Amino acid sequence: MAVMTLLSSVTSQWPSGFWPNIIKIFEVGSYAWTIVLFTIVLKLVLSPMDFLQRFFMNRQTRAQAKLQPKLEKLKKQYGQNQNLLYQKQNELMAKSGVNMKASCITMLVYMVLTLTIFITLFNSIRDISAFKIANQYKDLRQTYSITYDVGYLKDYLNMTDENVEELYSKSGDERAGYLNTFEQNKATADGLTLEQVKAYGKQIKSTAQDNVESRYFEIKDSWLWIKNIWIPDKATTSEIQSYSSYISSTGDKGVLEEDYNNVMGKLQAQEKNVNGYYILPILVVAITFLSQWISKKLSTPKDSNGNKIQQPGTGKFLMILMPFMMLLFTLNSSAIFSIYIIVNSIMSTILSPIITIICNKIEDKRERKTVEIAKPDYMR
């Protein structure tokens, strides 16, 4: 069929790859809630790795804090010879069982794993969004075709499938001229004026666009205040994409601008309905910052006396950098990915205190046991 040929450039298969296949398992109807459920499960699956890296870092930081007086003494004693100082410090830490390299490796593995998941998920959700946008247009194009292509071009103007296909292979004045030939033939055969034939064509086109409008509200993917979850939650973005936005989102250059505007004409002509109100980007910044602040606050290890052991690092810088980076992602990606970031940050905010408490309790118990073993047996 010509209509199917016209739509062949549009994606018709669910994106391949690990994450799209996993996300498909969690499908619960609304893809927004699908992503919420998927993110919760994913965070729980990764929590043991998070626990391990926090546990080893906690242990090594405590051990290093206990050696701090001795390290300072070595610094005063061998400060003039950096190579010798480094050697003596390593000997002291090795003798005391401190292995900062091990904890750093654990942290590095966790960071690489987290970053890999983030980037691959971003790409996969982008592919899913492109698939959904393209197939939504495909559905609307079919709705339009049933009324206009069949009702006007084929039944009224007596075009064959090949004629319809050739018509849609042209654009601009060339297409208008080709269509005008059939309309002129129809007018001559039925004793009508060309204007009467064209007026009927406009009427059928208007009906087709009305059907597209009705169909759109049946199949569109919205969630809470967001009109279209496959594009960003922004007040400057309409829920009905322009042709250039459609091409940018899907990469489907097989769809001609003239065809897209014919199908989406009445939807585009409506009063612009903004897709969102920047609520998700604001939530992303706030929750990402809160999650990092709580994590930093609670993950600072304590010694056996309950005193906090300060850790070196660039925590303050990251607390500003990470929310800013997440903001850029949410402003330039679909609302679906923003939902993933928010749910992931909420889960981190919930799990961080729990993991920290468990790590501290384990380490406190180990230190008390070590102290008890070291006590002299005065009963002998």
pLDDT in tens, 12-58: 688 989 999 999 999 988 899 999 999 999 999 999 988 888 888 77
* Residue 356: domain span: 18-123+278-364
Q: Are residues 37 and 118 in the same domain?
A: yes
Q: Are residues 82 and 201 in the same domain?
A: no
User: In whole numbers, what is the pLDDT of the chain averaged over residues?
Assistant: 85
Work out the angle between the directed axes of helices 243-250 and 100-148 (0-180°, nearest 10): 130
Give residue 315's pLDDT band: very low, low, confident or very high (50, 70, 90).
low
For 137-187, what is each residue's pLDDT tens digit?
A: 999 999 999 999 999 999 999 999 999 999 999 999 999 999 999 999 999
Percent of all residues in the chain with a pLDDT value above 70, rounded to a whole number: 86
Q: What is the pLDDT of residue 374?
A: 58
* Residue at 376 is within a domain: no
Q: Are residues 9 and 158 in the same domain?
A: yes
For 90-116, what is each residue's pLDDT tens digit?
A: 777 777 666 666 667 878 888 899 999
How far, in Å, CA of 344 to CA of 158, rounded? 57
Q: What is the pLDDT of residue 162?
A: 96
For 262-305, what is each residue's pLDDT tens digit?
A: 999 999 887 667 899 999 999 999 998 888 888 777 655 554 45
Name residue 274's beta-bridge partners: 238
Q: Are residues 311 and 346 in the same domain?
A: yes
**Averaged over 81-93, what is the pLDDT?**
75
Q: Are residues 305 and 358 in the same domain?
A: yes
Percent of all residues in the chain with a pLDDT value above 90, rounded to a whole number: 55
Q: Are residues 175 and 200 in the same domain?
A: yes
How far, in Å, CA of 180 to CA of 197, rounded? 10
Q: Are residues 149 and 27 in the same domain?
A: no
First to last CA, the chain: 99
Q: Are residues 298 and 349 in the same domain?
A: yes
Q: Are residues 147 and 256 in the same domain?
A: yes
* Residue at 307 is within a domain: yes
pLDDT score of 361 more than 80? yes
Name residue 302's beta-bridge partners: 308
Q: Are residues 36 and 114 in the same domain?
A: yes
* Residue at 372 is within a domain: no
Ranking 28-37, 249-258, 317-326, 368-377 by mean pLDDT, the lowest is 368-377
Q: Are residues 190 and 284 in the same domain?
A: no
- What are phi and psi for residue 274, nearest 5 degrees? -65, 150
Number of CB atoms found within 10 A of residue 370's CB: 10
